[in-house]
């Protein structure tokens, strides 16, 4: 096979960049893909969720080869700088080249995952690329919960091999990802009146981070740290809880927690609290060097505070609930297999709630984690519920597609690629859950600062990955 320059890839990327396609606004890009199929006399299916599947027969000599799914998602995360008035609903984005990088003018680029769509369209258009029968799957609304992939009727697909093009490192093939769900524990709040002085303690300056990518980096969780602090200080000072709030996303490690207390002896409380928080600060300084705490002393008055029962159960829960990495994989080196993150702690509308993000690269691991939390919160008589479930993509020990990729990569670069699993979600998990025995890999060109206005795509990397993809297709005879 002759290496091809990806001019048509960038042609199609420019075309789809002219189409507004933020998450939740995928009808226009779905119609673009449908019209592409019509104009190229290709069979297609478009569903009500704005997913599009385009079918293309195998080229000469590949007519009877096993089909392959080429898959990417059509939606993008829309961010812009403060001084830009771009209308993401009605207008596309403006591209420009900066050296080896393709960028967008003061907005996200949308190469996550528009470059996958562009690569697949370039292959579908071509009449001189050898390939097996292709089932090109363009899914909608991936960025807001893998919605399109979940809604797609998988029975329209016959292929048992799938190449997902939503990875961001060109020297790496991804072979497994985590599944997960949102877990909520809640209880109605009971109040009592107490006289005292209001003190607001702010725990801040922690690193935080993504609960999948950073969960194994010893990042301190501000909400569980608040539990540690309150559990200790109750032994030396009297206090009641007026309010407590930490974190705003269950998939982000909270880096700040604000605790509002009512105390009787202000000087004694601050002395004991400052002493213990300085002990914590010294303990975590090697990994959380910017951790800080502040005290804001308010008025002496009568305050509505949590009942003793709710206060004690909250402190118990924050201190003892599991959090962070629970199990490492025995199959893949350095892979977190099961974890959870307490991402949101709040009292709102007379309801105390703890919101967790759960992840596991094993179905059974995720199920047990849910059972563990339900059992824990049953002990304090709190209600629990789960939602937003997405399945894991479990590692396949005998993947033929992974070996084909490794051969193609080695032929192209003269070295072995990295093989990795990730503790985050990919659409491969949805397809693996629905199609028994499917063999998946995920690859993609080098992308940087995705989901930000600094997002950029390496042009040379795109060329390399496109040519490796063509090599893979050629080997699937």
Q: Are residues 46 and 165 in the same domain?
A: yes
114-166 pLDDT, tens digit each: 999 999 999 999 999 999 999 999 999 999 889 999 999 999 999 999 999 99
Assign residue 94 the CATH number of its domain.
3.40.630.10
Average pLDDT over every residue of 407-427: 94
CA distances to 17, 20, 311, 334 from 87, rounded to whole Å, are 13, 9, 47, 43
Asked if 225 and 167 sit in the same domain, the reply is no
Alpha carbon of 171 to those of 168, 416, 422: distances in Å?
9, 9, 15
The more confidently predicted of residues 410 and 4 is 410
Mean pLDDT of 400-408: 97
Structure tokens at 86: 């771009």
Radius of gyration in angstroms for the set of CA atoms belonging to the chain, rounded to a whole number:
26
CATH number for the domain spanning 257: value is 3.30.70.360
pLDDT of residue 321: 97
The whole-angstrom separation of Cα 113 and Cα 91 is: 18
Identify whether residues 255 and 274 lie together within a single domain: yes
Cis ω before 113 (30° cut-off from 0) = yes
Pair (208, 308) in one structural domain: yes
- The reply to whether 243 and 293 lie within a common domain is yes
The band of 444, judged by pLDDT with boundaries at 50, 70 and 90, is: very high
Sorting pLDDT into bands at 50, 70 and 90, what band is 1? very low
Res 97: pLDDT: 97
pLDDT of residue 82: 82
Q: Which residue has the higher pLDDT, 34 or 85?
A: 34
**Which tens digits make up the pLDDT trace of 264-299?**
999 999 999 999 999 999 999 999 999 999 999 999
Q: What is the tens place of the pLDDT at every residue in 357-375?
A: 999 999 999 999 999 999 9
The answer to whether residue 261 is domain-embedded is: yes
Query: Does residue 299 lie in a domain region?
Result: yes
Please state, for a pLDDT cut of 70, what percent of the chain lies above it.
99
Segment 442-450 shows an average pLDDT of: 96
CA atoms of 364 and 381, how far apart (whole Å) = 25
Q: 416 an active-site residue?
A: no
Q: Which of 142, 250, 439, 455 is catalytic?
A: 142
Q: Which of 287, 308, 335 is the last residue of a domain?
A: 335
Judgement on whether residues 162 and 273 belong to the same structural domain of the protein: no
pLDDT for the residue numbered 375: 98
Place of tokens 């008589």: 381
* Candidates 75, 143, 260, 394; catalytic one: 75
Distance of CA 306 to CAs 113, 114, 192, 209, 298, Å? Answer: 47, 50, 6, 30, 18
Confidence of residue 411 (pLDDT cuts 50, 70, 90): very high
HSE, CB side, 13 Å, CA atoms: give it for residue 86: 21
The C-alpha atoms of residue 359 and residue 177 are separated, in whole angstroms, by 10
Asked if the structure places residue 410 within a domain, the reply is yes
Mean local confidence (pLDDT), 39-54: 98
| 10 burial level (CB within 10 Å; 0-12, 13-18, 19+) | buried
Same domain, 193 and 311: yes
pLDDT, position 4: 64
Q: Are residues 165 and 269 in the same domain?
A: no
Residue 170 lies in a domain: yes
Cβ(115)–Cβ(9) below 8 Å: yes
Residues 327 and 197 in one domain: yes
Q: For the chain, what is the mean pLDDT?
A: 95
Tell me: do 57 and 88 sit in the same domain: yes
CA distance 274 to 415: 55
Does 371 map to a domain?
A: no
Q: How confident is the model at residue 83 (pLDDT cuts 50, 70, 90)?
A: confident
Q: Which of 335, 353, 371 is the last residue of a domain?
A: 335
Return all residues near 155 (Cβ < 8 A) that are at least 6 apart.
none
**416's tokens:** 């072995």
Structural domain span for residue 173: 7-177+393-474
In a domain, 346, yes or no: no
HSE toward the beta carbon, residue 25, CA cutoff 13 A: 13
**Total domains present in the chain:** 2
Last residue of one domain, picked from the residues 313, 335, 357? 335
Is 360 domain-assigned? no
How distant, in Å, are the alpha carbons of 216, 224, 228, 283, 366 from that of 287? 12, 16, 18, 9, 28
Same domain, 161 and 197: no
Residue 331 banded pLDDT, cuts 50, 70, 90: confident
Pair 45, 79 in one domain: yes
* 74's tokens: 């059509």
What is the pTM (predicted TM-score) of this model?
0.82
- Asked whether residue 385 is domain-assigned, the answer is no
Establish whether 308 is a catalytic residue. Answer: no
């Amino acid at each position: 096979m002759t290496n091809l320059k990806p001019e048509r890839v960038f042609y199609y990327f420019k075309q789809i960049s002219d189409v507004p396609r933020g998450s939740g606004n995928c009808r226009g890009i779905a119609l673009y893909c449908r019209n592409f199929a019509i104009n190229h006399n290709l069979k297609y299916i478009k569903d009500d969720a704005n997913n599009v599947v385009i079918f293309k027969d195998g080229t000469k000599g590949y007519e009877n080869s096993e089909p392959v799914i080429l898959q990417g998602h059509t939606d993008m995360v829309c961010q812009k700088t403060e001084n830009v008035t771009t209308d993401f609903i009605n207008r596309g984005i403006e591209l420009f080249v900066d050296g080896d990088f393709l960028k967008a003018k003061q907005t996200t680029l949308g190469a996550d995952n528009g470059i996958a769509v562009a690569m697949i369209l370039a292959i579908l258009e071509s009449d001189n690329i050898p390939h097996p029968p292709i089932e090109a799957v363009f899914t909608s609304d991936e960025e807001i919960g893998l919605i399109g992939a979940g809604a797609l009727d998988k029975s329209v697909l016959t292929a048992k091999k799938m190449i997902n093009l939503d990875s961001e490192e060109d020297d790496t093939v991804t072979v497994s990802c985590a599944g997960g769900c949102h877990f909520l524990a809640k209880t109605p709040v009971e109040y009592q009146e107490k006289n005292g002085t209001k003190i607001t303690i702010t725990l801040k300056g922690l690193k935080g981070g993504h609960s999948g990518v950073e969960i194994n980096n010893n990042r301190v969780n501000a909400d569980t740290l608040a539990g540690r602090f309150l559990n200790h200080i109750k032994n030396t000072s009297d206090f009641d809880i007026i309010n407590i709030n930490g974190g705003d996303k269950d998939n982000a490690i909270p880096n700040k927690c604000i605790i509002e207390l009512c105390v009787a002896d202000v000087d004694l409380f601050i002395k004991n609290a400052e002493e213990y928080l300085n002990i914590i600060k010294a303990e975590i300084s090697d990994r959380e060097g910017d951790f800080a705490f502040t005290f804001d002393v308010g008025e002496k008055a009568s305050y509505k505070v949590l009942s003793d029962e709710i206060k004690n159960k909250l402190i118990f829960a924050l201190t003892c609930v599991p959090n962070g990495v629970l199990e490492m994989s025995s199959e893949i080196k350095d892979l977190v297999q099961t974890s959870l993150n307490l991402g949101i702690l709040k009292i709102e509308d007379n309801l105390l709630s703890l919101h967790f993000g759960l992840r596991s690269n094993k179905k059974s691991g995720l199920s047990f984690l849910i059972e563990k939390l339900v059992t824990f919160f049953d002990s304090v008589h709190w209600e629990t519920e789960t939602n937003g479930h997405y399945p894991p993509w479990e590692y396949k020990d005998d993947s033929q597609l992974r070996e084909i990729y490794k051969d193609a990569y080695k032929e192209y670069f003269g070295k072995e690629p990295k093989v990795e699993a990730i503790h985050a979600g990919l659409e491969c998990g949805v397809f693996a859950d629905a199609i028994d025995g499917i063999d998946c890999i995920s690859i993609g060109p080098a992308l940087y600062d995705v989901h930000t206005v600094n997002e950029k795509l390496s042009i040379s990397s795109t060329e390399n990955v496109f040519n490796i993809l063509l090599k893979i297709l050629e080997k699937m005879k």
